[in-house]
Amino acid sequence: MREIAFREALREAMQEEMRTDERVFILGEEVAEYNGAYKVTQGMLDEFGEKRVIDTPIAELGFAGIAVGAAMNGLRPICEFMTFNFSLVAIDQVINSAAKMNSMSDGQFTCPMVFRGPTGSAGQLAQQHSQNFENWYANTPGLKVVVPSNPADAKGLLKTAIRDENPVIFMESEQMYGFKGEVPEGEYTIPIGVADVVKQGEDVTIVSFGKMMLRCHDALKALESEGINAELIDLRTVRPIDYDTVIESVKKTNRLVVVEEAWPLASISSELSHIVQKRAFDYLDAPVHRVTSMDTTLPYASTFVEAYLPSVERIVKACKEVTYKG
């Protein structure tokens, strides 16, 4: 199977959908003339023209509102934020317009649209450019929230998101745009709300999503050397969450470690911890452990960045603690 970069997989998804559906267009800062801040939209202006690949001013609230209005009137916009940190400027349109429009209009209007862009830490970008808001958006009824961890999932999930009748938040890791992986040839989609059991195991279940899946893969190797056979689940989407897949895994392994890049309070790992103790309490042989970023804003110094983020060592430690091998 061919290997392509994360950014190329995203581009293919958008190009294929734009070729088959003239209602689909993309707008955002530097998506056209500059070929995208991260070169995700490279070449798309040449193919689709300035009416469907639109450079916007640095005004997230404004162009998010334009995208919502376009979706309400039958188009299918892809609204790119240069980073989801900047989506806070537009969050009123995302939450109070896009997410609620179908309900407020009693079904007269839908908002089939995608808000996409990078999320989380990308090295030494300091406090205002390194935040994770997956759990913020996942807290909102009316939105779907997707966080892919590899190029194949990125393409299949983005195609599904573009076709969805609901607004979808599609979050990508800035550090993974150059990451390469196998991507199938031809047409395929991946359903939203279905987790992927990446590796079978029997000693402990590790659940994660997005960029943290890379650290979980590294942790698996370290755990194997310690004699721990872990099962690894990639959520792929955090609204809706595939609770059933996680519960079935916990019933088998009797232990759960959740890894995510966001802050610990009111996080996706908090939600999973609650649901698992509610639905699978009798199967647990140890408390659920969480590995998250530290509960502070992200410093600039590279040494602090690594101390702030979930590490392989912290993941391994959590797994050893719940298996009583620590």
- Positions annotated as catalytic residues are 60, 129
Helix (H, G, I), strand (E, B) or coil at 213: helix
| 249-253 long-range contacts, CB within 8 A, separation 24+ | 249/197, 249/205, 249/207, 250/205, 250/276, 250/280, 250/283, 250/284, 251/280, 251/283, 252/202, 252/205, 253/201, 253/202, 253/203, 253/204, 253/205
Strand 114-119 to strand 230-234: parallel, antiparallel, or no bridges (unpaired)? Answer: unpaired
Separation between Cα atoms, residue 322 and residue 125, nearest integer Å:
34
**CA dist 156 → 20, 70, 89, 90, 185 (Å):** 15, 24, 29, 27, 11
Whether residue 240 is preceded by a cis peptide bond, meaning omega within 30 degrees of 0, is: yes
Handedness of CA 51, 38, 118, 151 (dihedral sign): positive
Separation between Cα atoms, residue 312 and residue 308, nearest integer Å:
12
Neighbours of 39 (CB within 10 A): 15
Name the residue among 197, 241, 170 with its Cα closest to residue 9. Answer: 170
Separation between Cα atoms, residue 276 and residue 207, nearest integer Å:
12
**What does the DSSP 8-state code read for residue 11?**
H
Name the residue among 164, 258, 171, 152 with its Cα closest to residue 215. Answer: 258
Handedness of CA 200, 206, 210, 216 (dihedral sign): negative
